[in-house]
Amino acid sequence: MSTLIKGGHIVTAVDDYLGDILIEGETISAIGASLDAGADRVIDAAGKYVIPGAIDPHTHMEMPFGGTVTCDDFTSGTTSAAFGGVTSLVDFCLQTPGQSIPDALATWHEKIERCPPVIDVGFHMAITDLHDGGRLEDVAQVPEQGVTSYKLFMAYKGAIMVDDETLFRTMQVAARTGALVMVHAENGDVIDVLVKQALAEGRTEPRWHAATRPPHTEAEATDRAIRLAHLAGCPLYVVHVSCQEAVEPVAAARARGWRTWAETCTQYLFINEQHLEEPDFQGAKYVFTPPPRPAHNHELLWRALQTGVLSAVSSDHCPFRISDQKTLGRDDFSKIPNGAPGIENRLHMLHHFGVRESRITMSQLVDLCCTQPARLFGLFPRKGTIAVGSDADIVIWNGEKPLTLSAASHHSNIDYNLFEGTKVVGAPEVVLLRGQVIVEGDELVAAPGAGRFVARARFGEQLQPAHEERLART
């Protein structure tokens, strides 16, 4: 099977040119000014951008949290993703405290077997319990399974939060195994005190979610994680940086040449703490963590993306229905399941408000959503770029297509949309995964199972085409 994408405006993290792309099997076999290869299928991309399939390195499918479970499974969640131009995601396999690491990993593999994805899927290992260090060797084995990043939570005290000993010991393992350490950086102790005090004073509405997680709880934990990773000698990736206070220690570390990277998420560029005050408990839609911040942070985060202080934008897709899940916290903001949907609209929002409004270039969008996530998470160069030999994960993006973002039309199971009613211009027209068209216009043309598990390379190593096969065999 071969496909020829004709005449598109190909944009990578650095390049920008007109050309044809020939796909043979699952990979790109040639790029040319004018390829006439008698392909099985020809897609006309004239007047469209042709970009790498986006990678979402931060999602939570079918994840138990606070007595409920996120409402997208891997089939529904990846379907939503595909409509947003996403062709790979990396989801957090979450160790339940007490559970063994191999069990946790098995649980996640079962999820994608039960609800097969339509895009490719990798896993991070979220470690919550080292069992007094007894599980360190299990942790060390994880990268052998193609799971080459460890996630730790510095918040959610009493649930999945780890102490500095667990954090540091895991970082030391990472330094040895070549894994990347990811942290949710908030000071859980301080937040726990503030939450209890707020509740004791009868402050139960959603807006207290933000008030009890002030920016310096995030900045503190960010600085702490950075220094611990530096001491341990491992690379670090700080997830969902939400405010200038937390950007600053990241910037300082990077200026010193430390191996620190960080992402923000779409919502931190658009949603602010005022949204939590929407009446009738609608503010609960915006209860995600870290919380929405004062609006002046929005432009400062764009600045950090422009100057390279932040390396990526993820979605932190973590959907809980407003109708019957968020309501767990109707009388107690601390019981509102934390999280919001977003996997489908990341490129829509960044293209419209970023590229069209001249905050970033199209190449920067590709870099932030495709190339950098691929590089940092061991998917490059198989994914994250348009180059000969790379997987033919490709989005044909119509830069002029108008779209209104809405829960009524999105493809996730979630019953609300963070950007409800927002009118944007620009959307995917065709999405290919390893050479196969999975989305065409408003149609999903792939079946569940089109996507598969991707064993990722270790930090700093490359994922060559042959690599997956080798790992698959082991």
| Binding-site ranges for a copy of itself (CB under 8 A) | 10, 12-19, 22, 24, 27-35, 163-165, 167-169, 172, 187, 189-190, 192-193, 214, 216-217, 219-220, 223-224, 227-228, 230-231, 251, 254-255, 257, 303, 306-309, 367, 371, 381, 385, 387-390, 462
Given the complex with a copy of itself, which of 157 and 330 has the nearer CB atom?
157
Of the pair 256, 423, the CB lying nearest a copy of itself is at 256
Looking at the Cβ atoms of 193 and 408, the one nearer to a copy of itself is 193
Identity of the residue, 22 or 355, whose beta carbon is nearer to a copy of itself in the bound complex: 22
Taking the complex as a whole, the smallest distance from the CB of residue 29 to a copy of itself amounts, in Å, to 5
The smaller minimum CB distance to a copy of itself, of residues 91 and 273, is found at: 273
Q: Decide whether 109 or 131 has the Cβ nearer to a copy of itself.
A: 131
C-beta closer to a copy of itself: residue 165 or 400: 165
**Residues near 405 by beta carbon (within 8 Å), at least 6 away in sequence:** 345, 348, 349, 417, 419, 420, 421, 422, 423, 424
Least distance (Å) from a copy of itself to the CB of residue 303?
5
Q: State in angstroms the smallest separation of the CB of 324 from a copy of itself.
A: 33
Instruction: Please give the Cα distance from 175 to 337 (Å, whole number).
Output: 33
Phi, psi of 91, rounded to the nearest 5 degrees: -100, 155
Q: Of 46 and 255, which has the nearer Cβ to a copy of itself?
A: 255
CB 221 within 8 A of CB 195: no
Residue 252: CB minimum distance to a copy of itself, A:
9
Closest separation in Å from C-beta 12 to a copy of itself: 6
8 Å CB contact between 384 and 370: yes
Minimum CB distance to a copy of itself, residue 348 (Å): 24
CB of 126 to a copy of itself, least distance (A): 20
- In the complex with a copy of itself, which residue's Cβ is closer, 73 or 223? 223
Q: 371, 389 in Cβ contact below 8 A?
A: no
Report the C-alpha gap between 369 and 365 in whole angstroms. 6
- Strands in 86-94's sheet, in edge-to-edge order, are 54-59, 86-94, 120-126, 149-153, 180-184, 236-238, 260-265, 312-314
Compute the distance between CA of residue 446 and CA of residue 425 in angstroms, rounded to an integer: 25
The closest of 88, 13, 10 to 311, measured between CA atoms, is 13
Give 32 or 421: the residue with its C-beta nearer to a copy of itself. 32
CB 104 within 8 A of CB 63: no
Q: Buried b / exposed e across 194-209, counting CB within 10 Å, b at 16+?
A: bbeebbeeeebbbbbb
Smallest gap from Cβ 301 to a copy of itself, in A, equals 12
Smallest distance, a copy of itself to C-beta of residue 319, A? 31
Other beta carbons within 10 Å of 227: 15
- Alpha-carbon distance of 82 to 68, in angstroms, equals 25
The nearest distance, CB 447 to a copy of itself, in angstroms, is 28
